[in-house]
Amino acid sequence: MRIALMAIRLFIKVPYMMFRIWRYGLYKDKFIHHAEAFAYIKMATTKANRAGRVKIKVTGLENLPAEDGFIMFCNHQGLFDVLVFLQSCPRPFSFIAKKEVKNTILLKQVMKALGAYPMDRQDLRQSMEVIKAVTADVKKGKNFLIFPEGTRAPVPNTMIEFKGGSFKSATKAKCPIVPCALVDAYKPFDENSIKPVTVKLKYLPPLYYDDYKDMKTIEIAELVKAKIEAAIIDLLENGH
């Protein structure tokens, strides 16, 4: 119902927005046009969220590293998750998505425009190629968003195990890891309602390479999960 509301309230603008986003996906060199494409998609996302009566409450933006070339790791709640970051994050980024959503209308065009990567979790070779590609992009100064659970947790505002392999791009690129905590991001698209809803996102202090260089990826996964879990509890109990 909320997606329908967004489409209805932006009916006149949607075709042009989709055309612009589709056109950005045609550029061969995504690095040159990445900031421009991100800025436009950010604007479109903000309008869509407003039309859908979704408010994003963000804290911790000061924790983002001063230089680009970092990876944000967040708990996964549903298709709306990426839209929360597209509206709230002031720095251009791309993301990894499971292959099952790569042909979803609009998300497909956004992925191409931002140079995002679909990952087949059942294909080890393809997964390794994605990890290599993300590593190379991060080394060049591109930021990424990764959901280390791989799929959404069955119980709202809880988490399942973080996959250690999700952190391989970070360890190979030796880049900052930014834990992020999402609360109520499942509500906009998973609940059959158009009532106003507030989604909360908190950017946590980053882990730099020196903080995790002696840790195994599974240990990094456990540490980041613990930080996000504590932040979720704080957001639920105190709202910040």
Give the pLDDT band (50/70/90) at residue 150.
confident
Asked if pLDDT for residue 27 goes beyond 90, the answer is: no
Mean pLDDT for the stretch of residues 158-175: 95
Task: Please give the pLDDT value at position 99.
Answer: 81
Average pLDDT rounded to a whole number, residues 25-29: 84
% of the chain at pLDDT higher than 70: 100
69 and 48 Cβ atoms separated by less than 8 Å? no
Q: Over the Cα atoms of the chain, what is R_g?
A: 17
3-state secondary structure at position 48: helix
User: Which string of DSSP letters, residue by residue, matches 115-176?
Assistant: T-EEE-TT-HHHHHHHHHHHHHHHHTT--EEE-TTSS--SSTT---PPPGGGGHHHHHHT--
Which of 124-128, 132-136, 210-214 shows the lowest per-residue confidence on average (mean pLDDT)?
124-128
Please give the pLDDT value at position 103.
74
Mean pLDDT of 229-236: 96
pLDDT digits (tens, 9 = 90+) for 172-215: 999 999 999 999 999 999 988 999 999 999 999 999 999 999 99
Cα-flanking dihedrals φ and ψ of residue 66, to 5°?
-65, -30
**How far from 226 is each of 47, 50, 51, 62, 106, CA to CA, in Å?**
34, 32, 35, 21, 33
pLDDT greater than 80 at residue 105: no
Residue-level pLDDT at 142: 96
Q: What is the average per-residue pLDDT within 89-98?
A: 94
